[in-house]
Structure 1
């Protein structure tokens, strides 16, 4: 029979997993919306993430109550600290996906021609989705997860994401030189794509926190 503390931790894990699942599904939907230039699908992404901050606060409150009621030991305390930090990274990832969906919906209807960049943007987006999927899979299969291996896989996606963003940034800046009258629009597109780049950074942070919770050591997060 599980102790009250273990029940609480299990409940927190389930809520974090559900939050991750919602964000991953929304991120995949945003990718499809971009592929199809579908404004309605972009709106669905935004609607699905409307209460993401509230859900994050709910998890944080559960963690704080567990702190207060059960006076956890060192290992238990490590899990709670990691989960508290994870919630922040997860919510910020979800907020980034929501903003990306809103902005990309606008970008696909303005005068900028983003069609030449579409294959690279899709690959950039896929890497951010893949990183989230690795984390979600590890959360859902806790007993089977190799946390170090999971961290390395997320790092590979983040590295690929960085390289793709650097290529896109160069291509878009070159387009600004050729189409100065649309420079502000192209800069906004770059800002939107950075949401995907930051999503991968946050996934690395979450994977690191998962490893820290299980193994201890040091917390090393992207700023």
Structure 2
């Protein structure tokens, strides 16, 4: 392919990485904010993922231009198509993050400290590790290393799933004893968003493996 194709693709890659890095920083701040329900840190976390739709639209338009100008084939085409799907997954992860911040700040102070320490913090930590490792995969060329990192993301995503199920059982039990289903439902709805962010991470990781190995898309 022409050198200008690679230049254009590298620019797309940098912009995708920047969105991913901001998503990681946002979720790191959420992890800190959860420790003491710090509203200021929750607000700072939100600032990292502002105007994501405009940023992903810019990337998508650049990808469409690459397809029109260079008509890439084989692995180059896989990479371009995968990047197109990755921007969508990152946009949804950012949306989940915003929803988590918005929903959880309303109920954080009402959640039992023991529940936060025992389940919520570890779940958010797994979410952070999942997206951090996924974004690092964008710049990895070695297939074996890429596969190892994918397995790490999968482990963290599974941890987040398991921890959410534990939180759900705990909060449902508390709701039944306190007869306060609406309050606990709000908590679960917010916490579910955190678990979904890890799910988006594994979707992106799948696409990055697809770029190198081909085959079918996985979910």
TM range (shorter): over 0.9
Report the alpha carbon displacement of residue 160 of structure 1 after superposing the two structures with TM.
1.0
CA–CA separation in structure 2 for the residues paired with 1:172 and 1:67:
49
Give the match for residue 165 of structure 1.
Answer: 164
Counting only pairs closer than 5 Å after superposition, residues 5-154 of structure 1 correspond to structure 2 as 5-109=5-109, 112-119=110-117, 120-139=119-138, 141-144=139-142, 146-154=145-153
Unaligned 5+ segments in structure 1 are none
Q: Could you tell me how far apart the structure 2 residues matched to 1:55 and 1:114 are?
A: 38
- Alignment check: 8 A CA contact 1:43 1:102 kept: no
Contact 1:138/1:150, CA 8 A, preserved across alignment: yes
- Structure 2 unaligned residues grouped into runs of 5+: none
* Structure 1 residue matching 2:195: 3-state secondary structure: helix
**How far apart are 1:206 and its partner, in Å?**
0.5
2:189 pairs with 188, 191, 209, which one?
Answer: 191
Alpha-carbon shift at residue 144 of structure 1 (Å): 5.0
In structure 2, the CA distance between the partners of 1:165 and 1:80, relative to structure 1 (3 Å rule), is: same
Q: In structure 1, what is the Cα distance between the partners aligned to 2:106 and 2:111?
A: 12
Cα distance per residue 1:45-74 (max 9 Å; x no partner): 223222111111111111111011111112
Give the aligned length.
Answer: 217
Alpha-carbon deviation of 1:36? 2.2
Deviation at 1:185, TM superposition (A): 1.3
* Partner-residue secondary structure (3-state), 1:108: helix
Which of structure 1's runs of 4+ aligned residues deviate more than 4 A? none
For residues 9 and 126 of structure 1, do their structure 2 counterparts lie closer, same or farther at Cα, with a shift above 3 Å needed? Answer: same
Asked if the contact 2:140–2:146 (Cα under 8 Å) also holds between the matched residues in 1, the reply is: no
CA deviations on 1:163-198 (whole Å, 9 max, x unpaired) are: 111111000000110111x21111011011111111
- For 1:157 and 1:45, the matched residues in 2 are separated by 21
Q: Offset at 1:133?
A: 0.9
Instruction: Tell me the distance in 2 between the aligned counterparts of 1:163 and 1:113.
Output: 19
RMSD: 1.5
C-alpha separation in 2, matches of 1:101 and 1:80:
32
**Partner SS, residue 198 of structure 2:** helix
After alignment, is 42-51 or 86-95 more displaced?
A: 42-51
Calculate the TM-score normalised by the size of structure 1: 0.93
